Structure 1
């Protein structure tokens, strides 16, 4: 049997996993949710949920993959083999479905980002008609740009873990961070930005117990970190066993949270800059058009700045395109790894088969956009991902080797802190998640 491909360095793993986590959920979804849920109040709850639930879930998912050194279906089946292997494998296959669900809508939105980036470039080149079409909201544009983005991801995935995922993540992530900081520096100098800064950084503590805000924060934390669909599990399996996973998870979580925070620091002040310029941004306390507003208000704001605004617009949407690409890579790797390891397909065949299935799913969403698009996103982020994380906690805490895997590991390796960490994942995390589901039922 050929050796499995793997990451060749710790920094390569961290950048790839952070790239998986850092995507549209951070730079598109986080600021939108923050603006709709009290700005600073949302940020406060988001940080709490990330620390108490999302990071432990990230650890559990990576840990399962790292210990098994297999794809998510095989890894969960092996973890549950003493009690219910079929249930474990079924949960792994649900993760495959979740990854495909994420890709089905993610590639559509990523296509929007790419077309808007090209729109600014076209306008600078004087091709105004093409620029207007690229910035339009049309089914034809979705049909053209969604496949382009799917192909971009496939071209990286089929090269393998080290030569494809690790190499490109190590290149794209630093570029993303530099572009984000430069754009923040520019936007914060504009009139009206200070008002957005206050709204974002000063929390209204009277709102932090609102069920809608808590649910949005939980969904955002799980979606941002790409937990619950197997992407982090397969990345964990490509790392050598027991290589200070706690530190690696903290590094990933810190990078992800930093980028989400910086994205809010860019987009929320930008919305208030647009408001100061006379554009209508909010209605009844919520963003007009929610996520779509980024494609309506911000391009208008950039266009009003002249040529420099077109440069900023192209850079902004190029930033979003890079973020989207690093995330789609990990989600695509989940079904690809399953087909390679369990169905003996070559990586190239598996990559293009998965890409073809994603294309069909994406085109279905395009055809029935108003009915399916929001439904798929809500189903994934508020139901499937949290349920998968609950299962991971149960596997690590209760099922694996007929007991708590982390506590056994702590005794074997003489690491007492792992024992207490095991108790936290075993008892506290499932209860916290169930409380969140209770809030979902009340909302």
Structure 2
């Protein structure tokens, strides 16, 4: 790879960046909510199994396509195409992933802005500025616009710096900070009344529920989407990995970090819900379903923090800083996809491409904010329930059906000479050829129904 293009300077740099992309609001917000709505510990158990048996193989396909192509998503897919038709198909898949990433970032920036605003609320209360505290947690057009713009500016600034000085540098700083905050919050919440009941619900599975169709499909969807599959992100990140690295090991390490942080998030959120319930808040309906759902983070948890008195101000601040960091490590990866395409396919300077594409996505975010009641859910649904599974499935089709098997093996052997005789090579090619497309298709069909 040419030095001018940039690459991760170390294995830990890629792992932190890829894990940072995978670990976002979907893990720390979405995973616990899904867990609470789908049988608690039974969902956790199924999620772990599917993450390694199905999501990991699909993740490997995307990062291998990227490292083989050493380019943006479109160019990487076209390099393995042998006919004109395949090259056109590659363009549709690669560019579709780029558009999908941009759409996700457009609404993701709004949600991340809310996390930042909620982090300011306890600071304003400590300083005695109650009017600021009330304004930053209120649903107003001004609040939404201000914090969406602030968050998008942070994302643009990091991506303008490039791979090593931008993505890698900040991922290596933010990820350890996020994990440290998460662990500190877990330790504190587990000392509160009601936490032990939540811990039992989270860690003691009802084995009879693990084969429920809705639980299986929900867990599979969470596993695929939490690893940023289907957005071109992992293809472009894979293109920045050195040819000397063992991709099988790296892929497993990123997957392990991703599911581990999702598990830790559940270890914080689920006991917190039961703590809130012990303090009189209504969390579950009579039929056992979760009442708050996606609004859990903005309704139930702030009420819990308020009930803790002065300590709750510090806990609330730490929690929403944690959420903001998780969102930022994901947003920088989403912006990198379209930026890398503009830089490499159209010879636009990185700083220029980042600024213009970032402002373009921000303009879409502002449009969503102005029409938030119907556009937020619409854009989120189109990009995550339709776009992601289709693109992820087509990347598996490329890896399993279009990429020549000997060329694929040669790529994996770089950094892992003995892989041909390993269990991974005996199983993985068949997984991405048959199992992964069918599994992702099942998630897609379920989302339609």
TM-score band, normalised by shorter chain: over 0.9
Residue number in structure 2 paired with 1:113: 115
Of 220, 236, 239, 1:237 maps to: 239
TM normalised by structure 1 equals 0.95
Judge conservation of contact 1:65–1:235 (CA < 8 Å) in 2.
yes
Judge conservation of contact 2:93–2:395 (CA < 8 Å) in 1.
no
Residue number in structure 2 paired with 1:423: 430
The farther-off stretch of 353-362 and 321-330 is: 353-362
Judge conservation of contact 1:405–1:422 (CA < 8 Å) in 2.
no
The farther-off stretch of 244-253 and 298-307 is: 298-307
Aligned residues: 441
Q: In the superposition, relative to structure 1, how do residues 272 and 47 fare at CA in structure 2: closer, same or farther (>3 Å)?
A: same
Asked whether 1:361 is paired with 2:364, we answer yes
Deviations 1:153-184 (A, max 9, x none): 11111011001111111111111111100000
Could you tell me how far apart the structure 2 residues matched to 1:409 and 1:97 are? 27
Report matched runs for 1:189-338 at 5 Å. Answer: 189-241=191-243, 243-283=245-285, 284-338=287-341
Report matched runs for 1:116-131 at 5 Å. Answer: 116-131=118-133
Following superposition, the deviation at residue 330 of structure 1 comes to 0.4
Judge conservation of contact 1:219–1:381 (CA < 8 Å) in 2.
no
Could you tell me how far apart the structure 1 residues matched to 2:54 and 2:392 are? 9
Judge conservation of contact 2:47–2:223 (CA < 8 Å) in 1.
yes
Following superposition, the deviation at residue 242 of structure 1 comes to 5.2
TM normalised by structure 2 equals 0.93
Following superposition, the deviation at residue 410 of structure 1 comes to 6.7
Q: What secondary structure sits across from 1:282 in the alignment?
A: coil
Report matched runs for 1:1-16 at 5 Å. Answer: 3-16=4-17
Residue number in structure 1 paired with 2:163: 161
Q: What secondary structure sits across from 1:27 in the alignment?
A: helix
Judge conservation of contact 2:64–2:411 (CA < 8 Å) in 1.
no
Of 138, 141, 144, 1:139 maps to: 141
Judge conservation of contact 2:160–2:354 (CA < 8 Å) in 1.
yes
Could you tell me how far apart the structure 1 residues matched to 2:342 and 2:37 are? 40
Following superposition, the deviation at residue 407 of structure 1 comes to 4.4
Asked whether 1:86 is paired with 2:88, we answer yes
Q: In the superposition, relative to structure 1, how do residues 130 and 409 fare at CA in structure 2: closer, same or farther (>3 Å)?
A: closer
Q: In the superposition, relative to structure 1, how do residues 2 and 192 fare at CA in structure 2: closer, same or farther (>3 Å)?
A: closer
Could you tell me how far apart the structure 2 residues matched to 1:8 and 1:368 are? 42
Following superposition, the deviation at residue 360 of structure 1 comes to 1.7
Following superposition, the deviation at residue 21 of structure 1 comes to 0.8
Could you tell me how far apart the structure 2 residues matched to 1:307 and 1:105 are? 33
Following superposition, the deviation at residue 318 of structure 1 comes to 0.2
Residue number in structure 2 paired with 1:42: 43
Judge conservation of contact 2:118–2:136 (CA < 8 Å) in 1.
yes
Deviations 1:105-140 (A, max 9, x none): 111110011001111111111111101111222232
Asked whether 1:58 is paired with 2:55, we answer no
Could you tell me how far apart the structure 1 residues matched to 2:187 and 2:298 are? 21
Judge conservation of contact 2:217–2:442 (CA < 8 Å) in 1.
no
Following superposition, the deviation at residue 57 of structure 1 comes to 0.9
The farther-off stretch of 139-148 and 326-335 is: 139-148
Q: In the superposition, relative to structure 1, how do residues 185 and 105 fare at CA in structure 2: closer, same or farther (>3 Å)?
A: same
Judge conservation of contact 2:389–2:443 (CA < 8 Å) in 1.
no
Could you tell me how far apart the structure 1 residues matched to 2:148 and 2:308 are? 29
| RMSD of Structure 2 on Structure 1 (CA) | 1.9
Moved runs in structure 1, 4+ residues, more than 6 A? none
Could you tell me how far apart the structure 1 residues matched to 2:72 and 2:436 are? 24
Judge conservation of contact 1:287–1:293 (CA < 8 Å) in 2.
no
Residue number in structure 2 paired with 1:382: 385
Judge conservation of contact 1:219–1:382 (CA < 8 Å) in 2.
no
Could you tell me how far apart the structure 2 residues matched to 1:409 and 1:6 are? 17
Q: In the superposition, relative to structure 1, how do residues 201 and 94 fare at CA in structure 2: closer, same or farther (>3 Å)?
A: same
Following superposition, the deviation at residue 261 of structure 1 comes to 0.2
Q: What secondary structure sits across from 2:9 in the alignment?
A: coil
Could you tell me how far apart the structure 2 residues matched to 1:213 and 1:137 are? 33
Could you tell me how far apart the structure 1 residues matched to 2:117 and 2:234 are? 29
Report matched runs for 1:181-196 at 5 Å. Answer: 181-196=183-198
Deviations 1:28-77 (A, max 9, x none): 11111111112112212211221121111111000000011000011112
